Amino acid sequence: MGSRADEQRRRILDAAVVVFSRRGYRATSMNDVAAGVGLSKPTLYHYVRTKQDLLVGIYEQVLDESLASARAIVAAAPTPLEAVRALVVERVRYTCEHQDLLKICFEEESELPDELAEPILERRRAFEAVVLGAVQAHLDEAGLEVPIPPKVLVNTVLGAANWVYKWYSPSGPLSPRELGEQVAAVQLAVLGG
């Protein structure tokens, strides 16, 4: 169970997601974030030092949740192919259900200075390695070869799954999970699944 301070930081991060997504990172001030969470600016600074810290916190949240989920999916899957399918479905579902969050992650990355971007990239590479490991395990188990390197296949599949943040409509005919199933079916056909 988190402390009151952790809960407050989470509320601040949630407010930052809303404001950054709506206004853009550069156009957002700490006053905007404070107003979004209902705090005074001095109180906000008690919990977070800079706007950059908020942006890093958003990336860490997405990548830590994604990595934990990916590892759990692979551990629970009955076969490597089912793991890959479940990873794609989950990636699409998460992206559809957190469009504001993913918009920031995909559109504001250039705002991170190199020293802050490197730990974020390490987390992203760890997530991609889990997906690549599942793909490679399936290829090895099935004795398959794909027409492109497995890493390129993984980047292509994740690119398609991640891009849904741009066009998915919650009022559309498909739930996030249903859309994930369709994306997985198309993207994984090359794997025989």
CATH code, domain carrying 77: 1.10.357.10
The reply to whether 124 and 158 lie within a common domain is yes
Name residues whose C-beta falls within 8 Å of residue 127's C-beta, 6 or more positions apart in sequence.
Answer: 63, 66, 67, 70
The reply to whether 43 and 93 lie within a common domain is no
CATH code, domain carrying 6: 1.10.10.60
The reply to whether 33 and 124 lie within a common domain is no
Distance separating alpha carbons of residues 135 and 142, to the nearest angstrom: 11
Local confidence band at 114 (pLDDT 50, 70, 90 cut-offs):
confident
Distance separating alpha carbons of residues 148 and 59, to the nearest angstrom: 29
pLDDT at 4: 87
Least confident of 2-6, 9-13, 77-81, 113-117: 2-6
The reply to whether 118 and 139 lie within a common domain is yes
The reply to whether 144 and 108 lie within a common domain is yes
pLDDT at 192: 82
pLDDT at 93: 97
The reply to whether 93 and 112 lie within a common domain is yes
Residues 128, 158 contacting (CB under 8 angstroms): yes
Distances (CA, A) of 6 to 13, 62, 169, 173, 193: 10, 17, 32, 37, 42
CA-based nearest residue to 158, from 90, 104, 56 = 90
**Alpha helix segments (H runs only) across 78-149:** 80-97, 99-107, 114-142
Host domain of residue 68: 51-191
The reply to whether 44 and 66 lie within a common domain is no
Q: How many domains does the chain have?
A: 2
The reply to whether 45 and 101 lie within a common domain is no
- Write the pLDDT tens digit of every residue in 137-158: 999 999 998 999 999 999 999 9
- Write the pLDDT tens digit of every residue in 45-82: 999 999 999 999 999 989 999 999 999 999 999 999 99
The reply to whether 31 and 82 lie within a common domain is no
The reply to whether 42 and 1 lie within a common domain is yes
The reply to whether 121 and 180 lie within a common domain is yes
The reply to whether 95 and 15 lie within a common domain is no
Local confidence band at 2 (pLDDT 50, 70, 90 cut-offs):
low
